[in-house]
């Protein structure tokens, strides 16, 4: 596979000098193993997924670990989370040895519980999501990002086979993970759930609305959503709760992290199909949400993205913390044409938040490539690329 420099790479190398262990989580096929093997070329490699390997590890975990050459990459350790306590013991024997244990996991709730209990202070934890816009722009600046292909390495680097790849990905990874975590037997209903959730992309989360058409319970919907979120496939954007003297809607908004995956689930396999679709606006909005999250986690910051909606109908797509206690208020528009009316929600919310604390933006797919411009006083408009630190445009396919 061609090498695309990941923004997280330098942070992993720095952390390996300070911590005995690293843990890299994220969705399957996002490039976790490839990144670690590139960043640490002298590390030995062990895949902890084959049933025979898992059986050997469980029969003698201490012997298996003590026999290996370190530094060592242990891939997919969520399959044997009990091994973390043995790694902790080895770390405590030689606490001055840094960067010896490089662990990956495709979902993290059981793993993170093990880390908090067994490896507190011993491991630096990172999340790797599919390629960001900035990463791919640095790799091939002459081409635009494609919403239809998204950011999974194998889909974006082999675009002609992307539909077949997404179909295989859902069957091979998503369904397998859900089965292993929740013992789901009715995969046909789960596939329908994935497709239905894709149609709710960018909307307020309503679990009852998802459960009723499928004939399943709200707790089942909650469990399936939890799996999709903890495996890095779905992003729940919570409401902005700061007291602004308004009665707020308290439901999160739901987005698929990867635009290519949601387009596949919606049956949109080409640029023309997406541009004709009523989902073009939500797909672009979700793309921006995902890029905001990627920029935060790749930069070593907490993922902090919120939305705002009150019971009087005032709505702003995203509220993002900025420097010195300020916030960025963001409206996302697929249209290249920005009108003053688009700025009204931003002006109202900025007035409630305080002018010195709020910076208001309207982000479009393209347009101002040299810098932001003002659409009305206090509200700037720019292409998403300029806001994210890039300099080019987006295509649908």
pTM of the model: 0.92
Considering 109, 128, 147, which residue would you say is the last residue of a domain? Answer: 128
Please, which pLDDT band fits residue 116 given cuts at 50, 70 and 90? low
Predicted pLDDT at 369 = 42
* Same domain membership, residue 96 and residue 118: yes
Q: How many domains does the chain have?
A: 2
Q: Would 1 be classed as within a structural domain?
A: no
The pLDDT of residue 105 is above 80: yes
248-288 pLDDT tens trace: 788 999 999 999 999 999 999 999 999 999 999 999 999 99
Please, which pLDDT band fits residue 368 given cuts at 50, 70 and 90? very low
Sign of the torsion formed by the C-alpha atoms of 138, 32, 126 and 227: positive
Q: DSSP secondary structure string, 113-154?
A: HHHHHH-TTTEEEEE--S--HHHHHHH-TTS-EETTT-S-HH
Predicted pLDDT at 371 = 55
Considering 87, 108, 128, which residue would you say is the last residue of a domain? Answer: 128
CATH number for the domain including 17?
Answer: 3.40.50.300
18-62 pLDDT tens trace: 999 999 999 999 999 999 999 999 999 999 988 888 999 999 999
* Same domain membership, residue 111 and residue 94: yes
* Same domain membership, residue 163 and residue 234: yes
* Same domain membership, residue 155 and residue 288: yes
* Same domain membership, residue 216 and residue 276: yes
What residues make up the domain containing 32?
Answer: 9-128
**CA 318/CA 330 separation, integer angstroms:** 5
* Same domain membership, residue 161 and residue 50: no
* Same domain membership, residue 210 and residue 169: yes
Comparing CA positions, the residue from 298, 301, 288 lying closest to residue 4 is 298
Q: Would 2 be classed as within a structural domain?
A: no
* Same domain membership, residue 108 and residue 231: no
pLDDT: which is higher, 184 or 103: 103
Q: Please, what is the average pLDDT of the chain?
A: 89
Considering 128, 144, 170, which residue would you say is the last residue of a domain? Answer: 128
**CA 325/CA 154 separation, integer angstroms:** 39
* Same domain membership, residue 185 and residue 73: no
Predicted pLDDT at 244 = 59
Q: Would 3 be classed as within a structural domain?
A: no
Highest mean pLDDT: which of 70-74, 114-118, 375-379?
A: 70-74
């Amino acid at each position: 596979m061609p090498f695309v420099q990941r923004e997280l790479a330098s942070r992993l190398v720095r952390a390996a000098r300070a911590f005995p262990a690293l843990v890299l989580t994220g969705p399957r096929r996002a490039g976790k193993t490839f990144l670690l093997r590139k960043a640490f070329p002298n590390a030995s490699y062990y895949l902890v997924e084959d049933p025979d390997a898992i059986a050997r590890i469980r029969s003698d975990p201490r012997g298996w670990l003590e026999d290996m050459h370190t530094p060592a990459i242990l891939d997919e350790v969520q399959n044997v989370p009990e091994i973390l306590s043995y790694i902790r013991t080895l770390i405590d024997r030689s606490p001055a040895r840094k960067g010896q244990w490089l662990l990956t996991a495709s979902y993290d709730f059981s793993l993170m519980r093990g880390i908090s209990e067994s490896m507190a202070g011993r491991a630096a934890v990172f999340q790797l999501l599919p390629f960001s816009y900035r990463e791919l722009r640095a790799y091939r600046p002459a081409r635009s990002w494609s919403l239809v292909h998204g950011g999974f390495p194998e889909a974006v680097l082999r675009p002609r086979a992307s539909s077949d790849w997404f179909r295989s990905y859902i069957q091979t990874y998503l369904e397998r993970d859900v089965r292993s975590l929740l013992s789901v037997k009715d995969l046909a209903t789960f596939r329908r759930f994935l497709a239905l959730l894709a149609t709710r992309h960018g909307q307020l989360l309503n679990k009852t609305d998802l459960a009723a058409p499928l004939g399943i319970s709200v707790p089942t919907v909650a469990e399936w959503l939890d799996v999709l979120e903890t495996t890095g496939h779905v992003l729940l954007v919570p409401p902005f709760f700061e007291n602004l003297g308004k009665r707020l809607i308290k439901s999160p908004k739901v987005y698929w992290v990867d635009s290519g995956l949601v387009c596949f689930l919606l049956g949109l396999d080409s640029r023309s199909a997406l541009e004709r679709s009523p989902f073009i606006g939500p797909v672009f909005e979700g793309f921006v949400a995902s890029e905001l999250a990627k920029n935060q986690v790749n930069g070593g910051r907490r993922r902090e993205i919120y939305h705002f909606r009150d019971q009087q109908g005032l709505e702003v797509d995203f509220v993002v913390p900025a420097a010195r206690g300020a916030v960025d208020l963001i409206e996302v528009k697929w249209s290249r044409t920005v009108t003053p009316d688009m700025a009204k929600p931003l002006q109202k919310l900025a007035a409630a938040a305080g002018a010195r604390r709020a910076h208001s933006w309207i982000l479009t797919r393209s347009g101002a490539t040299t810098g932001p411009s003002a659409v009305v006083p206090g509200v700037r408009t720019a292409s998403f690329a300029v806001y994210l630190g890039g300099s080019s445009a987006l295509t649908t396919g």
